[in-house]
Amino acid sequence: MDVIDGRTINETSASKKMLIASQGSAYKNDIVDGIIDQLKNNDIYIKIIDVTTLNTIEVDEWDAFLIMHTFEIWEPQQDAATFLETFYDKEKMVV
C-alpha cells in the first residue's frame, strides 16, 4: 500500500476538527476526495495523514476520526490497529 502525502483543508481555528487517516490507493483517495468535497465549505478543519503517522496524533485535539486501512491476511494495518487498541472511541471514530 502506498504512503499518502498529508494535507489540510480549512483553518485550524474552525469550530470542529476532523482527522482522516488513510493509505494510498485509488479507491481510498476517491473516498477522501468525496468527503472533502462534502465538508470543505463547512466550519471544519480537516487534516489528512497516512495511517503510519497515527502515533503522532494528540487524540483529544480532534472531534472526529475516519480511519481507512487495509486488512492483509486477516490482519489490520499495524499502526491503525495499535491506535485503535489504545484510543478507540465509538462516539468519535469511524473505521
- Return the percentage of the chain with pLDDT > 70, whole number: 98
Q: Look at residue 93 and tell me whether its pLDDT is greater than 90.
A: no
C-alpha cell at 28: 481510498
In this predicted model, which residue has the larger pLDDT, 91 or 58? 58
User: How many whole angstroms separate alpha carbon 15 and alpha carbon 86?
Assistant: 26
pLDDT digits (tens, 9 = 90+) for 42-79: 999 999 999 999 999 999 999 999 998 877 778 778 88
Is residue 1 over pLDDT 70? no
* Nearest Cα residue to 95 out of 84, 79, 82: 84
pTM over 0.85: no
- pLDDT above 90 (res 37): yes
Q: Which three cell numbers stand for residue 85?
A: 487498541
